[in-house]
Amino acid sequence: MIDNFYENKIIVLDFGSQYTQLIARRIRELEVYCEIHPYNISIDELKKINPKGIVLSGSPSSVYEDEAPNCDINIFNLGIPVIGICYGMQLMVFLLRGEVIKADRQEYGEAKLTIDKLDGVFAGLDEEIFVWMSHGDYISKLPQGFEVIGHTRNTPMAAIAYEKKKLYGLQFHPEVVHTPLGKNILKNFVCQICECKQNWTMGRFIEHSIEIIKTKVGDKKVVCALSGGVDSSVTAILIHKAIGDNLICIFVNNGLLRKGESKKVIDVFKNHFQINLHYVNAEKQFLDKLKGVTDPEQKRKIIGHEFISIFENEARSFGNIKILAQGTLYPDVIESVSVKGPSATIKTHHNVGGLPANMNLELIEPLRELFKDEVREVGKELGMADELIYRQPFPGPGLAIRIIGEVTDERLNILREADTIVLEEIKKSGIYYNVWQSFAVLLPIKTVGVMGDSRTYENVVALRIVTSKDGMTADWAKIPYLVLSDISNRIINEVKGINRVVYDISSKPPSTIEWE
């Protein structure tokens, strides 16, 4: 049996910080398994989890607010090492009868930390390091047993420790890139103080998952909706590795895909990976349902409902299937289980098109412990090509929400050709993997132009190219003018029906990445 890395874990208690997931990802980069739980988890539940260490995240709150998120004080008496980051440090001090007061002015940005004790979490570091601050409160009095182990010019108690109980606090954020040696600090806590084994690797994850899938599935059949995206693709290949042809993948072509997309999916999964792939051509069915529809939410509902209907019918045709595979990722799980937490987006984690409960299928979600970057690592280990692993996100409703107004065959063809050119030129310029998404949007307006001495009255296309780390926020990409020029010239010259190209220079927020 493979080492159970799930028993060798750190947990992060989420108090609402925008960096909570980043803390967990940084710890996983140290090859140590890490989970996120709501701040109000019970002591009994904590004892069941039995972590090697606990991290208290930051928060936009202040500890002295009436409804400030709080944790059980007994966490500090479990004999488990605890490190508080920013708000987490202040809360630890507050609960253990120290004092936290509002600062005269917020401290935000880079600061130079002077380390007073070069051991424990600061072992192996220089006496002065740069760190990233973001706080409006500070500690004025330490609880009994604590000492200062680091300070900055504006924060006398920037790092504290109670070595005997293995309790630590950092006023700065070690998880962000702006604290260059932050990973070293986290490693000291996780590997030295908590004594965690570094055994969380994607190779071991694959081996472990295959064992679990084989045990759970046995000789039963599993159905999986394959979109061609990273999550569903890695899910399919991993399960196929475990159970072979007992996996049935259903690929529904809704007619809203990019140019040549369906052919690529069939080629990769049926021909290259030899996966049992069932192809459903439902282009006409979807287009008929979308006829005359212009409202974006209505488009989404129609597409989702139609997908569910088709998927259900196709799944039933394979007999008595009991198990449904989904590409659920860890951020989806966090959003589901942390609905009581302050940073949670209250929604049920995504599933394949919102499949209904009355399908009575048991779920298998082999990627539910992974972040997106880990999924890509798994894909690499499984032999997937970079083109598929690092593919830019593509919306479930497809090109339907990149056509503003009614979706028709003619408008789809125009957008497909323009979108192909955008991707070709972005790849040619070498910046495809440096941007989050790059695509064309067909607008519901026409403008006057001149082509070959003749007046034209044709469609307008908007280019949307953004940079982002997670899709939650995004900025428009400052790509070279020459690349924009090449894209514009090609679209206008090669795509019949377009005579004007514009560039979207709005960020998210306040705009969204997709136009609909």
What span, in angstroms and rounded, lies between the C-alpha atoms of 4 and 140? 43
| Active-site hit among 173, 249, 306, 516 | 173
Nearest alpha-carbon partner for 369 in 209, 216, 227: 209
306 is catalytic: no
What span, in angstroms and rounded, lies between the C-alpha atoms of 16 and 88? 10
Angle (CA) 428 430 433, round 5°: 120
Nearest alpha-carbon partner for 37 in 50, 195, 5: 50
In SS3 terms, 181-202 reads as CHHHHHHHHHHHHCCCCCCCCH
What span, in angstroms and rounded, lies between the C-alpha atoms of 333 and 336? 5
What span, in angstroms and rounded, lies between the C-alpha atoms of 166 and 81? 5
86 is catalytic: yes
| Active-site hit among 86, 191, 194, 196 | 86
67 is catalytic: no
What span, in angstroms and rounded, lies between the C-alpha atoms of 330 and 203? 18
What span, in angstroms and rounded, lies between the C-alpha atoms of 51 and 33? 10
Give Cα separations from 404 to 266, 415, 461, 512 (angstroms): 29, 11, 10, 14
What span, in angstroms and rounded, lies between the C-alpha atoms of 30 and 389? 22
- Residue 4, judged by CB atoms within 10 A of its CB (0-12, 13-18, 19+), counts as exposed
Contact 474, 467 (CB under 8 A): yes
195-198: long-range pairs with CB below 8 Å, 24+: 195/52, 196/8, 196/9, 196/10, 196/32, 196/52, 196/53, 197/3, 197/5, 197/8, 197/32, 198/30, 198/31, 198/32
| Active-site hit among 34, 35, 37, 175 | 175
C-beta atoms surrounding 419 within 10 Å: 22
What span, in angstroms and rounded, lies between the C-alpha atoms of 348 and 412? 32
Nearest alpha-carbon partner for 28 in 59, 55, 50, 2: 55
Contacts of 51 (CB under 8 A, 6+ apart): 9, 10, 11, 35, 80
- Pair of tokens at residue 243: 């159970």
What span, in angstroms and rounded, lies between the C-alpha atoms of 269 and 238? 12
Active site residues: 86, 173, 175
